[in-house]
Amino acid sequence: MIHPYDDAGQFWLPDDPERKVGGSISYVPGERPMLRLTGSFNSMDSELKLLANWRIPHEEKIVLGRVAKGREVTLCGCRLSNEGVIDLEFGGVVTKGLEVATVFRGLHLVTEDELAFARFEVELSHLGEWADLFRIEPGMCPRVEEGVHAVGYRLPEAIDAVLANGWLLRFGVNVRGPSRSRPQRAITVTPTAVVELRPPTRRTLQEGVDQVRIVSTFLSLAAQQPSVAGRLSVFPGGSAAERDPRMPELGATVLYQNPDAARQPKDLVPPHDFLFVLADMEVPEKHLRSWEQATAEIGSTVNLYMAELRELGIHLEPRFLRFVQALEGYHRRRFDNAAVAETEHDARLTEILAASPEKHRDWLAGKLKYSNEPCLAARIAELCRVYATVVDKIDRKRSWCERVADIRNRLSHQTTGVSEREIGEILTVTERMKLVLDLCLLSECGFGAEQIQQLVERYWRRHPPLLAVDATRLLH
């Protein structure tokens, strides 16, 4: 969740439900939830032993509770924190603080076997604008008769995609409202775009979060800014015979430590400001499967790119080095990692070592261990050739690829400082590297070369690239 949470109630262990302890739960986005107890689940002797052996970690796997308004909660992985005291002067009063790995609001999950779920549902920032599934148009509010108007909306059909691992992703809209009260002067209809994830068999929370990340990184690339989970809900499921079909399916909202939750999403992104939207994909399943495979095979490159989107204010040199590492790693995984054929290189290496003094051969062999790998400039130049139809619109020359290698070597080895003129040059080549990486990742999403060119040129009409600009002018 991206909103703080605070509640109070009573808590107990599953195997000792009669021993209830008062306390409160608090959650700050980006941090671990905290449980603060005004008592203990243990006897005083046990508490004193724990205090004496404070170096031994103490953890309660599952704690149950009921907080305000009768809502059930399950807390998993409760680890003793530095908070808490035992006041022996006043009858052995105990206060304790526990860091909680996961809070499930809305369900009691008594055993670890119950911590597997049949369905996950997540709200992601920018999903509504990207999918554009729900809209209220003027024609939906007609005048039925004189002085009488109707307000209506039509729920869109869900869009399904099955990943290669068997998970079903369903893009849809949940609508809350209108509410009823007396008197009432306004009607509010609140649509929320959601992604529903159904595994082939019940899966753990961590497995669900891993699948959510496939969708969130996909949306982040499209929006060119992080897509953050606003609410994650889990549902144990079960057959229709196990529950009343007239009642809604019981589920729980999940609180856990998620660094991205501390970053409030930016304002709504208009559909024309996305790099691509749902409507650009004739078969969404194909593109999501392609991205699923990419996140598994080039995970390091995807992580570096997402870190760039999260930290847009990062200093110039780290940003430059991040793109260098991302492109070099991408080329290493997707292209030939040998400058010449291995047999040719082995013959050349044997000849060189045979001609060198024997006492220096081991040292020279170590220096030449990676001599058949393409250099950084050659790697970037090859990526530029693959996407030449787009890159050539900015600069047909490949000399900037050599400059990237020169700057990388100087920054990595800290040989000299960076002049004002070079700051402008670093800015320019960094933006060029980002363009190349954008093109690579669009390809990983399953878009063809012609469509990639159309998407990028459409995006440029709203966001002209800073690639052909004399960047030194921006410094004055």
Question: What does the pLDDT read at residue 406?
Answer: 87
Question: What does the pLDDT read at residue 410?
Answer: 83
How many CA atoms within 13 Å lie on the side-chain side of 338? 7
Cut 0.75: pTM above it: yes
Beta-carbon contacts of 146 under 8 Å, excluding residues fewer than 6 positions away, are: none
Query: Which residue, 470, 458, 388, 378, is CA-closest to 431?
Result: 470
Q: What are the pLDDT digits (tens) for 93-136?
A: 678 888 999 999 999 999 888 899 999 999 998 998 899 888 76
Q: What are the pLDDT digits (tens) for 325-381?
A: 999 999 999 988 777 777 777 788 777 877 888 887 788 777 777 677 788 999 999
Chain mean pLDDT for the chain:
83
Average pLDDT over every residue of 71-96: 75
Angle at CA 186, nearest 5°, toward 184 and 171?
125
Q: How confident is the model at residue 243 (pLDDT cuts 50, 70, 90)?
A: very low
Helix (H) or strand (E) holding 211: helix 205-223
pLDDT of 417 > 80? The answer is no
Beta-carbon contacts of 366 under 8 Å, excluding residues fewer than 6 positions away, are: none
Which residue ranges form the domains of the chain, and what is each CATH number?
5-107 (2.30.110), 113-136+153-179+188-282 (no CATH), 298-337+374-475 (no CATH)
pLDDT of 182 > 70? The answer is yes
Residue for token digits 């119950």? Answer: 114
Name 284's bridge partners: none
Query: Which residue, 308, 309, 327, 330, is CA-closest to 318?
Result: 308
Query: Which residue, 193, 296, 274, is CA-closest to 442?
Result: 274
Question: What does the pLDDT read at residue 84?
Answer: 65
Angle at CA 202, nearest 5°, toward 196 and 207?
70
DSSP 91: T
Name 148's bridge partners: 145
pLDDT of 476 > 80? The answer is no
Q: CB burial class (10 A; 0-12, 13-18, 19+) of residue 331?
A: buried
Residue for token digits 């070079």? Answer: 422
Q: How far apart are CA 378 and CA 398, in angstroms?
A: 10
Identify residue 312 by its one-letter amino acid code.
L
> How many angstroms from the chain centroid is the CA of residue 139?
38
Sign of CA dihedral 263, 269, 271, 275: negative
Tokens of residue 243, six digits:
């529950």
- Considering the chain, what percentage of its residues have pLDDT values greater than 90? 39
Q: How far apart are CA 171 and CA 218, in angstroms?
A: 13
Question: What does the pLDDT read at residue 444?
Answer: 96
Average pLDDT over every residue of 392-419: 78
DSSP letter string, 277-307:
-GGG-SSHHHHHHHHHHHHHHSHHHHHHHHH
pLDDT of 25 > 80? The answer is yes
Query: Which residue, 231, 281, 246, is CA-closest to 120?
Result: 231
Average pLDDT over every residue of 412-418: 69
Instruction: Yes or no: say if 65 and 20 are a contact pair by the CB < 8 Å rule.
Output: no
**Range 75-79 contact pairs with CB under 8 angstroms and sequence separation of 24 or more:** 75/11, 75/25, 75/33, 75/35, 75/100, 75/102, 75/103, 75/104, 76/100, 76/101, 76/102, 76/103, 76/104, 76/109, 76/115, 77/101, 77/102, 78/35
Tokens of residue 346, six digits:
């082995």
Average pLDDT over every residue of 181-192: 78
What does each C-alpha distance from 191 to 2, 173, 209 come to in angstroms? Answer: 18, 6, 23
